[in-house]
Structure 1
Amino acid sequence: MASLARLILLWSCVPPALAACDPSLSDSWWDAWRASGDAGGIRQVALTNRDRCAYIALIRRIRSESPSFRVLDIGAVGYPWSIHAGLTDVIFDFQATHSPNCFSRDDMIGAQNCCSSKGDACFDHLFTRERCCRGEQPIFLGLIDGDVTNTEGAGWASLFRLVQMTGKFDLVITSHLLEDLTDPTALVRQLPKVAHAGLVVVPCKFNELVR
């Protein structure tokens, strides 16, 4: 069975509002990422309760060297931190198409002007520059509706068709999703089919018990 070349498991116990956001935490992951190859097998596994700031910094750092680095988020509608951080290229979820893009594809020039401008007149507390622009380029999310729980049926068909046409994503994120599934391993088995590397975020037992 195919497996992800790189997998980071983020064990989320620290409330994001209280966790120290230290981008330098990504330094060790950067070294490990560059040292690990794309050969079969999981080459890098980490279990950590660090805040996700380090992984946001890691993805941005990778993109600084590889601007074409493509990120898929499965389940982002319910936990959209990767969208707000401007990391995601495509989201796959129930009602993904209900997630609004920052800009209309009918006004590409206007979107470009917003991202290249120095002011923030185009943005607000929800549609921030960080979410809407990658450098001076506007972000247009690919939105794919699907049943993330139906891994054996037609639920993933649209995503698989996209992967067939454009190739696997460089990274797949699934955040605070596996713990809500009756068969999380079924979803995990699909990840190597759509991406070369993975970031899987699950809450710790304490967070789940106090919800």
Structure 2
Amino acid sequence: MAAALPSREQGLALDKRAALAAVLRSSPFGDKVGTASGERGPASSAWPSSALLAEVVPGGLRRGQVVSVPGSAQLLLELVGGASAAGAWCALVGQPALARAGRAAAACGVVLERWLLVPEPGPHWAESVAALIGAVDVVVAAPTGPVPAALVGRLAARARQHGTVLIAFGTTWPGSDLEIRAEGSRWRGVADGRGELAGREQDVVAVTKGSRPRHMVIGSANPPSQGRGGLRLVGS
């Protein structure tokens, strides 16, 4: 049985992805990038949050939104996982250790076939991020040092123009629409050195531009064998 021909929109997306792959594989990026093929996710005004972050990001990730996640890999992967599970194409620039953590990413809902990795962009990380914006739905930028304010502004403007969610990981970006940071964690189920681990809770602060910080606790509501967990609001 013959395969169905792609629609005109799908064809254009495939052409864009092929062009992106060619750009990223050319100098100065060389063979530092792994690519996947396929069309972009379905059009929508926002990508949904994962179940764990449903109250942290109640409206999901809006297209063109700039999000800052200063330090928690779990929060980052949960953010990406919600969008990825809904069909988004996502990319990570930098963080080679996280790029190798495919099992952890998949556990948070990231579809690895749509997870584009540039683990070691070197000094050209900003060019990688700029090339990916507009070609995929969610781009995670993980620079190794401070980022000049002018560059932050240019990348944010490009993300808003193209409707790509830009997530800054490992650093705080001035002017971000949303910042999500972890402020401590603890295990449940162990008292006085005895007992069985029943889950882990993490204190989270979410700061939306122009709003008061919201303080929450996320974590597993049941032992790990009984499910992934839930979320409860503890203050605002």
State the TM-score, normalized to the length of structure 2. Answer: 0.29
State the TM-score, normalized to the length of structure 1. Answer: 0.31
- Quick check: which one's helix share is greater? 1
Q: Which one has a bigger Cα radius of gyration?
A: 2
- Quick check: which one's strand share is greater? 2
